[in-house]
């Protein structure tokens, strides 16, 4: 399981550990890990650090301190290191500054002025294309030293803000960050891309778009949730020895082994009924395809049989003769161990929804079954209920704008779970699953892919998750295992080219086999 912790938890764990360690030891651990990651990115041969040109965008806090100490380490290995003090008042970590200067690094204050130029010790600035150009001197009229350095850099560290950052980048930082992004250098975010919110994944204003983020001590939720996740690039983790074991994670992501342990496997004495029967109420005369796709997902989710209820029976049977089809009301269709209701339904949805909600088995509500859903209808149930909205549906259920859900996915999924007393799977670029109390941990799906954004793929997901419920998984597990397999199926079906929802359903068995093999 990959876990992520809030800033408050990280700071508490850091405080406890710092009490037992010499002053500055944690920052040295962070800097050592950061320098090693950067050296690795510059090329594995030691010579690639020697002569490399590295620029540090340094903010006023400890995040800048990490980069200054890491820069000092790289400078001692022969890199030409320039620190650009981004803070409007040119504050920077004093110990880190001293260390960088002692190692022969250069410090530039702001884009238009050179504060101090230190002699570059032997070997610096002698990269593949010759010695680094001398930095512009204050008021020398040769352009900004910071921009010259950025333009020539092989690697830039973004150390403007880490977990202490508030809001987006301040105006003085924006042109420097844009120059770094345009330079062609590898852009490495220190702990977090500056400008993103560590706890929520929100991006309020300008922020850094990194190629790699080197994060310290614990993953922060923002690194795993869009829109911030998308700005973080590839993640690298530096272990600081923080103790978070006793604290519930804010976020957790299943890994292959976790999913393998949860997959239902038929026992020797199983029969189709003992494996569970999933009832699917989906499709209509207008949308028979939704019935086919939801059933296709359900056939691959571990239930022993799929019962279909609705007007798409002919289409379902033509494709899947193994399905038990009923034309009447769900309550008359026979016993099931879970219900899935919603994809492609017509205006008779309300009666059918009341029927399945009155049952004593887990119910998954998707698409049309979410419209106008009364929280009391769900809260009174004794068996689990799972809601699977996309951002638009979640916004309607919460009475907010869709953009609000998309920019604050973690908040939104928690609020919905609390409002309905239900497990909520919020679909989209980052799929999240919140438990019914909206508490910790929320699960984040690590396998998603934009190729899943194709009509009907949500129908497949609802059938798949409903089938896992019928097979006996707890609601949060069924939802997160379903999303995990669905993401893997999307990836393997697509392999870099567009696919339809039917292809995704067809790839679920392969994804299951891949996970099962560990």
Residues that bind ligand NPW (CB under 6 A): 14, 18, 26-27, 30, 59-64, 66, 160-167, 169-170, 173, 190-191, 216
CA gap 194, 183 in Å, rounded: 18
Task: Write the CB contacts of 397 (distance below 8 Å, at least 6 apart in sequence).
Answer: 370, 373, 387, 389, 416, 419, 420
Q: Report yes or no: 201 and 225 within 8 Å, Cβ to Cβ.
A: yes
Q: Is 183 annotated as a binding residue?
A: no
Q: Is 350 annotated as a binding residue?
A: no
Q: Report yes or no: 367 and 340 within 8 Å, Cβ to Cβ.
A: no
Complex with ligand NPW: residue 190 or 336, whichever CB lies closer? 190
Q: Which does 18 bind (CB under 5 to 8 A by kind): K ion, ligand NPW, ligand ADP, none?
A: ligand NPW
Complex with ligand ADP: residue 90 or 449, whichever CB lies closer? 449
Q: Is 390 annotated as a binding residue?
A: yes
Q: Which of 7, 190, 417, 505 binds K ion (CB under 5 A)?
A: 190
Taking CB under 6 A as the binding criterion, the range among 43-51, 185-193, 401-409, 442-450 that sits at the site for ligand ADP is: 442-450
Complex with ligand NPW: residue 39 or 163, whichever CB lies closer? 163
CA gap 412, 393 in Å, rounded: 11
Q: Which does 453 bind (CB under 5 to 8 A by kind): K ion, ligand ADP, ligand NPW, none?
A: ligand ADP
Q: Is 164 annotated as a binding residue?
A: yes
Q: Which does 14 bind (CB under 5 to 8 A by kind): ligand NPW, ligand ADP, K ion, none?
A: ligand NPW
SS3 content of the chain, % helix, strand, coil (to 5): 40, 15, 45
Q: Which of 88, 358, 455, 509 binds ligand ADP (CB under 6 A)?
A: 455
Q: Is 456 in the site for ligand ADP (CB under 6 A)?
A: yes
For the record, the structure tokens of 508 come out as 């679920």
For the record, the structure tokens of 57 come out as 């965008």
Cis peptide before 352 (omega within 30 of 0): no
Smallest separation (angstroms) from ligand NPW to the CB of 22: 13
Complex with ligand ADP: residue 92 or 224, whichever CB lies closer? 224
CA gap 66, 64 in Å, rounded: 5
Of all residues in the shown chain, the one whose CB is closest to ligand ADP is 458
Complex with ligand NPW: residue 146 or 394, whichever CB lies closer? 146
DSSP assignment of 407-435, as one string? H-HHHHHHHHHHHHTSEEEE-SSS-EEE-
Q: Is 502 annotated as a binding residue?
A: no
For the record, the structure tokens of 96 come out as 């880190």
Q: Which does 456 bind (CB under 5 to 8 A by kind): ligand NPW, K ion, ligand ADP, none?
A: ligand ADP
Q: Which does 461 bind (CB under 5 to 8 A by kind): ligand ADP, K ion, ligand NPW, none?
A: ligand ADP
| C-alpha dihedral sign at 318, 319, 321, 325 | negative
CA gap 451, 500 in Å, rounded: 9
Q: Is 503 in the site for ligand ADP (CB under 6 A)?
A: no
Q: Which does 38 bind (CB under 5 to 8 A by kind): ligand NPW, ligand ADP, K ion, none?
A: none
CA distances to 23, 156, 178, 213, 221 from 57, in Å: 24, 7, 12, 14, 24
Taking CB under 6 A as the binding criterion, the range among 47-55, 124-132, 196-204, 425-433 that sits at the site for ligand ADP is: 425-433
Smallest separation (angstroms) from ligand NPW to the CB of 154: 22
Interactions with ligand ADP, residue window 385-404 (CB under 6 A)? 390
Three-state secondary structure string covering 353-400: HHHHHCCCCCEEECHHHHCCCCHHHHHCCCCCEEECCCHHHHHHHHCC
Q: Report yes or no: 115 and 108 within 8 Å, Cβ to Cβ.
A: yes
Smallest separation (angstroms) from ligand ADP to the CB of 470: 20
Complex with ligand NPW: residue 134 or 164, whichever CB lies closer? 164
Q: Report yes or no: 392 and 373 within 8 Å, Cβ to Cβ.
A: no
Q: Which residues bind ligand ADP (CB under 6 A)?
A: 367, 390, 427-429, 431, 448-450, 452-453, 455-459, 461, 486
> Annotated binding site for K(+), which residues?
63, 158, 194
Q: Which residues bind K ion (CB under 5 A)?
A: 158, 189-190, 194
């Amino acid at each position: 399981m990959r876990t992520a912790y809030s800033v408050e938890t990280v700071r508490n764990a850091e405080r406890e550990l710092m009490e037992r360690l010499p002053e500055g030891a944690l920052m040295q651990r962070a800097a050592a890990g950061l320098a090693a990651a950067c050296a690795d990115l510059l090329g594995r041969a030691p010579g690639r650090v020697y002569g490399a040109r590295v620029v540090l965008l340094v903010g006023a806090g400890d995040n800048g301190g990490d980069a200054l100490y890491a820069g000092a380490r790289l400078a001692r290995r022969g890199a030409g290191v320039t620190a650009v003090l981004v803070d409007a008042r040119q504050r920077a970590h004093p110990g880190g500054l001293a260390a960088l200067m002692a190692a022969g690094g250069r410090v530039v204050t702001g884009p238009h002025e050179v504060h101090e130029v230190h002699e570059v010790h032997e070997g610096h600035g002698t990269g593949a294309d010759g010695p680094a150009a001398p930095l512009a001197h204050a008021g020398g009229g040769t352009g900004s030293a910071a921009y010259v350095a950025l333009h020539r850099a092989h690697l830039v560290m973004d150390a403007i803000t880490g977990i202490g950052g508030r809001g987006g980048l301040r105006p003085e930082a924006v042109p420097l960050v844009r120059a770094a992004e345009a330079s062609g250098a590898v852009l490495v975010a220190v702990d977090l891309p500056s400008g993103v919110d560590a706890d929520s994944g929100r991006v309020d204003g300008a922020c850094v778009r990194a190629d790699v983020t080197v994060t310290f001590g614990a993953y922060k939720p923002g690194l795993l949730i869009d829109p911030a996740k998308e700005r973080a690039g590839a993640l690298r983790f530096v272990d600081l020895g923080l103790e978070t074991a006793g604290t519930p994670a804010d976020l957790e992501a299943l890994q292959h082994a976790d999913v393998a342990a949860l997959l239902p496997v038929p026992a020797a004495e199983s029969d189709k009924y003992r494996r569970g029967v999933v009832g699917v109420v989906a499709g209509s005369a207008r949308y028979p395809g939704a019935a086919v796709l939801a059933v296709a997902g359900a056939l691959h989710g571990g239930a022993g049989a799929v019962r279909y209820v609705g007007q798409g029976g002919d289409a379902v049977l033509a494709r899947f003769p193994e399905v038990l089809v009923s034309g009447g009301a769900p309550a008359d269709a026979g016993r099931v161990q879970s219900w899935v209701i919603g994809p492609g339904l017509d205006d008779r949805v309300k009666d059918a929804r009341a029927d399945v909600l009155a049952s004593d088995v887990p119910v998954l509500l998707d698409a049309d079954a979410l419209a106008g859903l009364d929280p009391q209808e769900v809260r009174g149930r004794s068996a689990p209920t799972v809601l699977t909205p996309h951002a638009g549906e979640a916004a309607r259920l919460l009475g907010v704008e869709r953009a609000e859900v998309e920019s604050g996915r973690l908040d939104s999924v928690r609020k919905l779970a609390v409002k309905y007393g239900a497990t909520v799977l919020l679909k989209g670029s980052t799929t999240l699953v919140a438990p019914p109390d909206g508490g910790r941990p929320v699960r984040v799906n690590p396998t998603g892919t934009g190729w899943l954004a194709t009509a009907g793929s949500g129908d497949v997901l609802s059938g798949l998750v409903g089938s896992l419920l019928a097979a006996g998984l707890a609601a949060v597990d069924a939802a997160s295992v379903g999303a995990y397999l669905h993401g893997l199926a999307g990836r393997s079906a697509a392999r870099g080219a567009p696919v339809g929802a039917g292809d995704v359903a067809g790839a679920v068995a392969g994804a299951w086999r891949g996970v099962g093999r560990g």
